[in-house]
Amino acid sequence: MPTSAPYLPSGGSPSGNRVWLITGASTGLGRALAEEVIAAGDRLIATARDVTAVKDLAESAPDQVQALPLDVTDPAGIRAAVAAATSTFGQIDVLVNNAGFAYRGALEEISDTEVRAQFDTNVFGLLDVTRAVLPGMRARRSGTIVQISSVGGVTATVGGTAYAGTKFALEGLSEGLAAEVAHLGIRVVIAEPGPFRTDFTGRSVRWASQPIDDYRSVLEPARKQFTAMHGNQPGDPHRAARAIIAATRMDSPPLRLPLGANAVDRIRTTLQQRLKDIDDVEPLGRPADYLD
């Protein structure tokens, strides 16, 4: 459990004893966020596919925390978890869609089954959980939905194509959702972490099952760089968690929240390059309209 006081960037406000539901709370950023929510005095529904992995959170603060099993690819299980959470705490104020995983490899190397599994968890699971929680937020005209995206939701990297596809989808869906629910008092925050010191580059990563030799020359350096990061990532999950909490307390939270210097720098570079690319191709693309 964290021992330091929560980090609050300017614009934060005191906690209102809100109720959080976090998917994938057993490890990584989800676990750090769960611990920081407890430390901040809010209430928490901590979920994981294996509920035993989050039971210690409930045992550490039984009046604040409910541990529930939740596989985001199981629609019936999602409905049951949301109903149980609402029965215990009355409402869900903040939903954090954190559950997800990554396949690494060239797109051609990743099987259809693997790609679909990636999208089922990272995209369709997120959609199902969001749709299960939205009716309660709509009825109360309040709530915050935090979508855990990635710097990979803004710029794709070699070997991370399928994962980037899910995060690009998440970004578009979440941006559209934000516009749909703003008038209902519901806010959406898309968190975009860079490399953080979690199991994402270690135990949690999955590798394509059908390697193709033609891709080796570009994938092998990328794989070595990716695995070398494990345990050396610059990002502190607890500081990221505290930044997320602070963002959800703002009167007007940001739609997008890059987390870590790596994410800020890479996203800025990517967007600046996109603007340059638009300028370069404008003479080709602009004349495509009908002529008056």
Task: Indicate the helix (H) or strand (E) that contains 26.
Answer: none
Q: Which residue has the higher pLDDT, 272 or 227?
A: 272
Amino acid letter, residue 42: D
Q: Which residue has the higher pLDDT, 220 or 12?
A: 220
pLDDT category at 280 given cuts 50, 70, 90 is very high
- Separation CA 4–CA 40 (nearest Å): 11
pLDDT score of 50 = 96
Section 11-37 average pLDDT: 84
Of 26, 103, 150, 167, the catalytic one is 167
In percent, how much of the chain has pLDDT > 90? Answer: 77
- Separation CA 45–CA 68 (nearest Å): 7
Annotated active-site residue 167? The verdict is yes
Q: Which residue has the higher pLDDT, 208 or 113?
A: 113
Lowest mean pLDDT among 11-15, 132-136, 152-156: 11-15
Of 26, 163, 174, 215, the catalytic one is 163
pLDDT score of 218 = 87
Phi-psi region of 5 (alpha: psi -120 to 50; beta: other; left: phi over 0): beta
38, 60 contact by CB (below 8 A): yes
DSSP codes, 140-194? HT-EEEEEE--GGGTS--TTBHHHHHHHHHHHHHHHHHHHHHGGGTEEEEEEEE-
pLDDT score of 204 = 59
Fold of 19-280: Rossmann fold (3.40.50)
Q: Give Cα 43 distance to the centre of its chain.
A: 20
Section 191-210 average pLDDT: 74
Residue in 227, 264, 18, 33 with CA at minimum distance from that of residue 148? 33
Residue in 171, 181, 170, 112 with CA at minimum distance from that of residue 144? 181
pLDDT score of 230 = 66
The mean pLDDT of the chain is 90
pLDDT tens-digit readout, 30-47 = 999 999 999 999 999 999
pLDDT score of 258 = 97
The answer to whether residue 1 scores a pLDDT higher than 70 is no
Q: Which two tokens stand for residue 86?
A: 């609402």
186, 143 contact by CB (below 8 A): yes
The answer to whether residue 130 scores a pLDDT higher than 80 is yes
Section 152-164 average pLDDT: 93
Q: Which residue has the higher pLDDT, 1 or 155?
A: 155
What are the backbone dihedrals phi and psi of residue 287, each rounded to the nearest 5 degrees, phi first?
-70, 5
The answer to whether residue 2 scores a pLDDT higher than 60 is no
pLDDT score of 231 = 65
Per-domain residue ranges for the chain? 19-280
Section 167-181 average pLDDT: 98
Per DSSP, helices labelled H in the chain are: 28-39, 55-60, 75-89, 112-119, 126-140, 161-181, 216-228, 237-249, 261-285
The SS3 of residue 68 is strand
Annotated active-site residue 13? The verdict is no
The answer to whether residue 247 scores a pLDDT higher than 80 is yes
Q: Which strand ranges, in their side-by-side order, compose the sheet holding 94-97? A: 65-69, 43-48, 19-22, 94-97, 143-148, 186-193, 256-259
pLDDT score of 290 = 94
pTM of the model: 0.90
Of 149, 150, 174, 215, the catalytic one is 149
Section 110-126 average pLDDT: 95
